[in-house]
Structure 1
Amino acid sequence: MSALPEIDRTIYPMPMFATFQVADLAAAEAFYNAAGFVSLATVPGPDGSPAVVHLRRMKYQDILIVPGEPERGSVTVSFLAGGQDLAELAAALRPALPDGARVEGPADTPWYTSDLTIDDPDGNRIVLTAQRAAEREAIEEWARTFEGDFIVEE
């Protein structure tokens, strides 16, 4: 599998993160570890059992998993793939998927990305997205002609 950049384990103010309720904290942690996230910290609750597990894939790609009753399909969070080969990751995940988990793609989108969709056993969804390098010129042309309030980096 293609290597990700080294994971930043610094504790910093997170500008954005997702919190997923999961039925089985240990199983969810193992699932996300297999998908390339590392466990940064486990915070115990008043009774000493884990209250939250902090997971990270890359800087600013943080998920907090907490015990609870998940509502299937209620959360989708997208993360930059960061150079990871999405087809390799999908192939590595598929043979060992736990019940209720699903991997779709990678699939090309109309907005010039390839996306790998991963549903955890509790129905929370993450999408790893990668710009299609082969279409870089088309993306730049689209950005020059598309109307909107944004700046195109050169």
Structure 2
Amino acid sequence: MPKLDRILETAIYVDDLDRAAHFYETVLQLAPLLKIDRLYAYDVGGASVLLVFKRGASDHDMTSAIGTIPGHDASGRIHIAFAVGAAELADWEARLAAHAVLVEGRTHWPAGGDSVYFRDPDGHMLELATPGLWRTY
């Protein structure tokens, strides 16, 4: 039986790519991998990629010399959890406060992990989570 190794990419859809870029590059310090008119891609910890699409700009198939990417789009707010070291969580909270990002919730999980919840400019719920959240993390 073949197995899945990990989630490689996570996609969100936003109304304003430049506003989203400012947040993800300035507040979360993500490094851009690609910036084109409909999509910005960011490296997350050297292990995964956050795709930030302009809402409605990828809802049709994209065909080029290298192949076809089927159309996709989404609406509504989603949730993404970013893994952070336990010793870094307080520094992240200070960084969020310095950028006037409101922390909406905190959770201490039974296995020992901690989570901090906040939103990006499009209302997506973001989480910073330390080890001890899941059996696998």
TM range (shorter): 0.5 to 0.7
- TM-score (normalised: structure 1): 0.59
Q: Is the Cα–Cα contact under 8 Å of residues 105 and 116 in structure 1 kept in the other structure?
A: yes
Highest Rg: 1 or 2? 1
Sort the Cα spacing of 1:62 and 1:118 in 2 relative to 1 into closer, same or farther, 3 A.
Answer: farther
The answer on 1:54 being equivalent to 2:44 is no
- Distance in 2 of aligned mates of 1:57 and 1:30: 16
Sort the Cα spacing of 1:41 and 1:121 in 2 relative to 1 into closer, same or farther, 3 A.
Answer: same
- Distance in 1 of aligned mates of 2:28 and 2:87: 11
Equivalent position of 1:25 in the other structure: 17
Task: Give 1:3-152 correspondences, 5 Å limit.
Answer: 15-33=7-25, 34-43=27-36, 50-68=37-55, 71-73=75-77, 75-82=78-85, 85-97=88-100, 102-104=102-104, 106-131=106-131
- Distance in 2 of aligned mates of 1:19 and 1:86: 24
Letter in 1 for 2:95: A
* Partner secondary structure for residue 85 of structure 1: helix
| Identity, % of aligned positions | 21
Q: Is the Cα–Cα contact under 8 Å of residues 102 and 120 in structure 1 kept in the other structure?
A: no
Choose between structure 1 and 2: higher strand proportion: 2
- Distance in 2 of aligned mates of 1:89 and 1:129: 11
Q: Would you say how many aligned residue pairs link Structure 1 and Structure 2? A: 112
The superposition leaves residues 3-57 of structure 1 with CA deviations (integer Å, 9 ceiling, x where unpaired) of: xxxxxxxxxxx842211111111111111112131111112xxxxxx11000122
- Distance in 2 of aligned mates of 1:36 and 1:20: 17
Unmatched tracts of structure 1, length 5 or more: 1-13, 44-49, 133-142, 144-151
Q: Is the Cα–Cα contact under 8 Å of residues 96 and 102 in structure 2 kept in the other structure?
A: no
- TM-score (normalised: structure 2): 0.66
- Distance in 2 of aligned mates of 1:40 and 1:83: 27
Residue 60 of structure 1, CA deviation: 2.3
Unmatched tracts of structure 2, length 5 or more: 1-5, 57-73
